[in-house]
C-alpha cells in the first residue's frame, strides 16, 4: 500500500472501531465478537506503530471504550479505570508473562488467576465506611453516577468496617436464570429480548428509575481497588480476602500460580466447566500478585501491563439451516434470521442465528438445507460463521 492507501485504511479502521465501541458500550447491541473487534484494533495499532505520522490522539488505540450516555451525572474516578488487554492463545499468554518478567528483571513470579465475569464494570467509593457513590467505567477517566440503581443490588454493601477512603472495583452481572426469566417477560410483552446477560445487565443498571432496576435482580462480584489512602495492601490474593471480610462477594475460583504451565492448566480446567456456573465467564484474568510489582510495571494509555485476560474460544457446533425469515424491527429495519435445527451450544439450546443483512447471506454462500457452523459466546447472539460445503448433496436451495 502507498501512503495514501495506508492513511485511508487507518481512517476506515478508526471509523469501524468507533462504531463498534458505540454499539457495545452505549447501545449494548454488539454486532461482532470481542475477538473480531480486537483483530481490527491490532491491525490499527500495527499501522500506527509503523506509520506514526498517522497516529492521532483521538485514535481508538489511545482510549478506553466509553459507556457514557449523558443521561447520568458524570464524576471523575480518583484512579482511572482501564480495560484489560486480551490474549486469544496460550502463545499470546506466554508472551505476556515474558514481557512481565523482562519488565521486572525477575524470572520467577507469582500470579493470581481469576475467572473473568462477563458483566459491567463498577467503581464504588467508600469514605468513613459509607458508600459515597457508584460509577460505571465510563471512558476510564470519568464514569456515570449510578448510585441509586447500584444500591438496589444486595451484593453491594452500603457500609463497611474499613474506615479509610477507598475505591472498590467489581462487575455487575445478571445470573443466567434471571436472564432467561427476563427475556421470557420481554417476549410476552412484545419487546425485543436481550442478546445476552451482559447486555441485559448494562441496560438494567442504567434504567431511569431504581425501582425498575431492583426488579432485574442484578448481582455483583468484586476483585480490585482503585484509590487507597494508604498503601497498606501488598498482594492481590490477600486483598481478595480483605474484600470478603468487608462483606463483598468475591469469586471463590481463584488460584495462585507460579508458572506458565500452572496458569495454562487452570485455564484449561475452567474452559469446559464454564457453562456449569450460574453466571457467564468469557475467560480468565491473570494478574501479578504483588502490588509493588504492578506499580513498577505501570500501564499503557488503555491497559495495565501487569494483567491480561485470557479469552476462551467460542464454542462451535454444526447444525442444519432450515429456512431464512426476515424480521422487521421497531425502527423498521429488516433483519434476516436463520432458522436452525435446534442444537445445544454454550449451555443453552439455540434454533435461531443472526445474519445481519443480505450481504452476509451472499458472503457466506448460504443455501436452504445447508449444514452450517454456528458459534455463540458471551459477547454475541448465535451467529453462522460458515458452511460445511462437504455435506452438500444437491438438495439445497438458494
Please list the active-site residues. Answer: 116
**Separation between Cα atoms, residue 83 and residue 67, nearest integer Å:** 13
Helix-strand-coil split of the chain, %, nearest 5:
35, 30, 40
**Separation between Cα atoms, residue 331 and residue 21, nearest integer Å:** 21
**Separation between Cα atoms, residue 185 and residue 212, nearest integer Å:** 14
Specify which residues 328 forms β-bridges with.
Answer: 334
**Separation between Cα atoms, residue 71 and residue 284, nearest integer Å:** 33
**Separation between Cα atoms, residue 151 and residue 134, nearest integer Å:** 9
Give the list of residues 6+ apart from residue 198 with CB closer than 8 angstroms, or none. 28, 118, 119, 120, 173, 174, 280, 378, 379
Among residues 117, 113, 121, which one has the least CA distance to residue 287?
113
Q: 348: how many CB neighbours lie within 10 A of its CB?
A: 12
Strand order in the sheet with 86-87: 86-87, 307-311, 281-288, 111-117, 255-257
Give the list of residues 6+ apart from residue 283 with CB closer than 8 angstroms, or none. 86, 116, 267, 309, 310, 311, 312
DSSP-based three-state secondary structure for 315: strand
Q: How is residue 103 written as a grid cell? A: 519488565
Distances (CA, A) of 375 to 176, 178, 321, 351, 378: 18, 23, 14, 12, 10
Give the list of residues 6+ apart from residue 259 with CB closer than 8 angstroms, or none. none
Give the list of residues 6+ apart from residue 328 with CB closer than 8 angstroms, or none. 334
Q: How is residue 379 written as a grid cell? A: 459477547
Is the distance from CB of 111 to CB of 266 less than 8 angstroms? no
**Separation between Cα atoms, residue 180 and residue 189, nearest integer Å:** 14
Amino acid at each position: 500500500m502507498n501512503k495514501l492507501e495506508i492513511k485511508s485504511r487507518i481512517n476506515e479502521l478508526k471509523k469501524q472501531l468507533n462504531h463498534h465501541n458505540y454499539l457495545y458500550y452505549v447501545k449494548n447491541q454488539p454486532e461482532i465478537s470481542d475477538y473480531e473487534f480486537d483483530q481490527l484494533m491490532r491491525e490499527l495499532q500495527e499501522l500506527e506503530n509503523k506509520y506514526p505520522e498517522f497516529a492521532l490522539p483521538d485514535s481508538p488505540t489511545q482510549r478506553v471504550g466509553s459507556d457514557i450516555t449523558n443521561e447520568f451525572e458524570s464524576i471523575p474516578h480518583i484512579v482511572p479505570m482501564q480495560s484489560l488487554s486480551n490474549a486469544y492463545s496460550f502463545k499470546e499468554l506466554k508472551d505476556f508473562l515474558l514481557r512481565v518478567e523482562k519488565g521486572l528483571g525477575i524470572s520467577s513470579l507469582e500470579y493470581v488467576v481469576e475467572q473473568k465475569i462477563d458483566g459491567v464494570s463498577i467503581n464504588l467509593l467508600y469514605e468513613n465506611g459509607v458508600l459515597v457513590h457508584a460509577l460505571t467505567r465510563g471512558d476510564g477517566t470519568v464514569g456515570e453516577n449510578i448510585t441509586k440503581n447500584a444500591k438496589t443490588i444486595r451484593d453491594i454493601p452500603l457500609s463497611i468496617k474499613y474506615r479509610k477512603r477507598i475505591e472498590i472495583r467489581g462487575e455487575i452481572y445478571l445470573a443466567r436464570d434471571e436472564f432467561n426469566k427476563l427475556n421470557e417477560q420481554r417476549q410476552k410483552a412484545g419487546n425485543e429480548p436481550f442478546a445476552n446477560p451482559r447486555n441485559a445487565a448494562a441496560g438494567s443498571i442504567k434504567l431511569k428509575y431504581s425501582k425498575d432496576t431492583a426488579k432485574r435482580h442484578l448481582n455483583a462480584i468484586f476483585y480490585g481497588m482503585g484509590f487507597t489512602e494508604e498503601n497498606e495492601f501488598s498482594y492481590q490474593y490477600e486483598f481478595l480476602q480483605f474484600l470478603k471480610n468487608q462483606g463483598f462477594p468475591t469469586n471463590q475460583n481463584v488460584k495462585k500460580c507460579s508458572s506458565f504451565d500452572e496458569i495454562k492448566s487452570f485455564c484449561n480446567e475452567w474452559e469446559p466447566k464454564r457453562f456449569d456456573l450460574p453466571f457467564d465467564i468469557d475467560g480468565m484474568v491473570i494478574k501479578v500478585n504483588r502490588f509493588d510489582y504492578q506499580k513498577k510495571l505501570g500501564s499503557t494509555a488503555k491497559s495495565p501491563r501487569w494483567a491480561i485476560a485470557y479469552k476462551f474460544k467460542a464454542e462451535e457446533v454444526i447444525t442444519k439451516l432450515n429456512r431464512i425469515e426476515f424480521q422487521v424491527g421497531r425502527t423498521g429495519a429488516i433483519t434476516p434470521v436463520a432458522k436452525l435445527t435446534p442444537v445445544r451450544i454454550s449451555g443453552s439450546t439455540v434454533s435461531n442465528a443472526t445474519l445481519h443483512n443480505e450481504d452476509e447471506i451472499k458472503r457466506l454462500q448460504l443455501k436452504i438445507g445447508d449444514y452450517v457452523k454456528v458459534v455463540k459466546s458471551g459477547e454475541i447472539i448465535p451467529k453462522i460463521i460458515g458452511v460445511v460445503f462437504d455435506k452438500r448433496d444437491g438438495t439445497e436451495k438458494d
